[in-house]
Structure 1
């Protein structure tokens, strides 16, 4: 299947920020479909890892549409919080995926562990698992990571999710303060994309 050149691809996400970012990484010659075209809800993500959840999504959306599907599962791991929120990153925002609520929860949990956490460097990383499936068959599944730390307050209006509180290694700005074009060239999705590109 994947020996042929792919010319049609469904992006298996209902998250507009992810859709925008993945679209910007894909070769222009590929015709992109989104889940909203087919009015599809998301499957239950009951995997134990980013990879498992990514495959649940790519297989589910592919079976629903008969299209080859690229899906992402990603999140933020904070070492100080035993790698939470991890695969529950989106769920920390409640059922409407409100990330300002999720960010408040991160700060609350950090303060619970150490009220002086702002004086420390709180190590964190974004992780992204990208998978491509066709119907029930996995074609590829890779992981990308970007290391960094948590800023002491949310900064910047760009990006989505936890971007306003994540400062990548050797940078001063949060992902939320960076231009999308700058962020897209270095983040976890891009790292994963570099590995999966050969399948496209």
Structure 2
């Protein structure tokens, strides 16, 4: 385990939406850097799970920056689509990471499976794997999940990624319609972060 509390950290992502959400979870007195500050491009994510991809990023960015790194790998799993897009969530948006395109692809895939899916509760979840990696090769992992279902239409301008089509369990609105303060209390990233909070 890490001997001292972390006071300086590289957040291992080049995704601005993700960077903002992780920064909002971290203590305010932390010195936070991102790969962009060091002109580091993202590594190839060839893991088979969120946990593996999260570790690939944390290791890569930590070695390049010589700093402790916190990396996230997260995505949307839809039961009827055999867990897809899953670890390929960002890739469904194409080279430019266009999530409007990705959400429309989800709808297309659901149409192929079941023409009447919009009248049903399509079970889904967001999964987040967080990894802290430091240069002494210490690794800390945590996983957070939030269950819910797919909205029949894209709703809301908040958040990022698939937020406008995900309705968390027990709520009537999508993550895209929620205020950040509402979403942060229940989402997958918050649940994963709660488990490693003590290191900061």
Query: TM-score band (shorter)?
Result: over 0.9
Measure how far apart 1:136 and its partner are: 6.7
Query: Which residue in the other structure is 2:147 paired with?
Result: 147
Query: Which residue in the other structure is 2:184 paired with?
Result: 184
List runs of 5+ in structure 2 lacking aligned partners. none
TM-score computed with the length of structure 2 as normaliser: 0.98
- Does 1:2 find its partner at 2:15? no
- Does 1:167 find its partner at 2:192? no
Distance 1:67 1:91 in 2: 28
Query: Which residue in the other structure is 2:82 paired with?
Result: 82
Distance 2:136 2:113 in 1: 43
Asked whether the 8 Å contact 1:131–1:142 carries over to 2, the reply is: yes
Q: Secondary structure at the match of 2:176?
A: coil
Asked whether the 8 Å contact 1:164–1:176 carries over to 2, the reply is: yes
User: Could you list the runs of 4 or more consecutive aligned residues of structure 1 that deviate by over 4 angstroms after TM superposition?
Assistant: none
TM-score computed with the length of structure 1 as normaliser: 0.98
Instruction: Map residues 1-200 of structure 1 onto 2, 5 A cutoff.
Output: 2-135=2-135, 137-200=137-200
Asked whether the 8 Å contact 1:71–1:132 carries over to 2, the reply is: yes
Asked whether the 8 Å contact 1:59–1:136 carries over to 2, the reply is: no
**Pairwise CA RMSD:** 1.0
Number of equivalenced pairs = 200
Distance 1:96 1:4 in 2: 39
List runs of 5+ in structure 1 lacking aligned partners. none
